[in-house]
Each structure stands twice: as C-alpha cells, then as structure tokens.
Amino acid sequence: MNDQARLQRTQAIVGDIIDAIRGILRKHDVTFDEYRAGVRHLIELAAEQEVPLLLDCYLNQTICDIEMKTRRGSRSNVEGPYFLENAPMVTDTIKVRGDTKPLLIRCEVKDLQGQPIPGVITDIWFADSNGDYSGFSEDFPIEYFRGKATTDSEGKYAVMGSIPKEYPMTSNEHGPTGTIIEMLGGQGMRPQHIHFKYLKEGYAPLTTQAYFHGGKHLDEDPVGAVFDDLIHELKMEDGIAVLDLNVVLDPAE
C-alpha cells in the first residue's frame, strides 16, 4: 500500500470510529456528566498503563477473526499485551522457576501443500505459576518463561517449558479494566494457555495460542478467544506431559 492509499484508509477508519461513537452518544442521550466520567476513566486507564490490556481484552480477537477470512492455515488467536520482541533464542529448554510442572512442547510446521517448513522462528511465551509474564513482573528477568525456538530441516522443534496456570486478566480487579469486566457481567480469569508467534520469510506471520483440554474457564474466557481447534489434550510420555502441535502457515500475501 502506498502512502496516499494508507492515508485514505486511516482517514476512513478513524472517521468511521468517530461517527460510530457519536451515534452511540446520541442513541443513549449521554449527558455531559456521563461523558466526563468516560474521559476520567480513559485517563485512569492510561495512568495505570492498562490501555493495551483493555483493548486486547475486547478487540484483539476481532482482528484475528478478520485475518481468518482470508487464511487457510492454522487459526490466528490473540497476541495479548505480553509479547516482547527480544526473547532469547532457545534450543531445547525455556527457563522456568517456582512451583511449575514440566511440559514438553513439540511442534511440526508445514505449508498449505503439507511440506515441512524449516527455519521458522517461533516465539513461545507463557505465564508463571502466579500468572505473571517475564518482562512485566519485577520478580524475574525476561529469559524466563519465554524464548524463540527454530524448526529443523523437518519443520520440527521440541522445547521443555512448563504448564501455565489460569490467571486473572488484571492484578487489580478494582482498576479501570477490572471494573469494566465486572460491570459487563464477565469474569476475569483467562484459561490456561501458551502463546506462539511463527515467523518465516515468504509466509504470513501467525500469532496464536494453545489451550488445554479440561482446563478451567474455557467456556467463559473474558477475551472470547477459545476455539475447539485450539484446545489440546496433553499426552504423558515417561512421566512428562507433552503438548503436540501441528501448525500450517499461509503464504505471505
């Protein structure tokens, strides 16, 4: 897309957002006091650094649904606010700490024709046993609970990590995101999940998640991101839980 086309698209989208909000204000005869309360809520959201959290909670999955209108490979799923660009490269182990159960993550990446794709860099990130992500908690550095694995000549990688726990969307349930979730009658716990982002030149980037069969909150995810084809049954091999993933990448547009 050239600069002119990008500007026109941005004008169209931003213009439509403003028109939609004006329509909502008119529909509900919103008062000046209510409008000011909304402004104060947005100021609090920014001050608490919860803007990405609230937007990812309600809008990120919609973007993934739009992506899936044109994709034929694996399902795209919310990235959420806890991805970091500079995770360490890992060969066979992602560092974990605390009270966690080991999990072997095995993955095979193919193209739409079923051919293995070597050299796919896969970011993997998941919460610790308190529901915290490295880089967002002062308790542990970013080389924990996240890493980049690379597929081998057969399009496969295998890394040891740990089974994540379900966790609350926000550590402050009375904060600007927690109060909105509660006001709308939702519950704030995300089901257990692991995040993945697959990158390889020539293929569409794929950001997705894996959920666990039998986990809590699968049918009441505050983010609305749980789909049957993303729920996996863990196997036990030599006393270790194993998550086997088959991923299909779409070609780049």
Q: Does 210 bind ligand BEZ (CB under 6 A)?
A: no
Tokens of 15: 């213009």
Q: Which is nearer to Fe ion, 35 or 136 (CB)?
A: 136
Of the ranges 73-81, 85-93, 96-104, 238-246, which one interacts with ligand BEZ (CB under 6 A)? 73-81
Measured from each CB, the residue nearest to Fe ion is 80
d(CA 134, CA 126): 9
Instruction: Report the site for ligand BEZ in 152-181 (rule: CB under 6 A).
Output: 169
Q: Alpha-carbon dihedral of residues 210, 126, 94, 153, nearest 10 degrees?
A: 30
Q: Which two tokens stand for residue 245?
A: 């993933």
Q: Min. distance of Cβ 223 from Fe ion in angstroms?
A: 9
Chain-centroid distance, C-alpha 148: 16
- Minimum CB separation of residue 217 from ligand BEZ in Å reads 12
Q: Which of the stretches 7-15, 74-82, 152-160, 199-207 binds ligand BEZ when contact is defined by CB under 6 A?
A: 74-82
Q: How far apart are CA 192 and CA 209, in angstroms?
A: 10
Nearer CB in complex with ligand BEZ: 160/230:
230
Please give the Cα distance from 39 to 20 (Å, whole number): 17
- Which residues from 194-223 bind Fe ion, rule CB under 5 A? none
Residues 140, 123, 149, CA angle at the centre, nearest 5°? 100
Q: Which residues bind ligand BEZ (CB under 6 A)?
A: 53, 56-57, 60, 78, 80-82, 169, 190, 193, 223
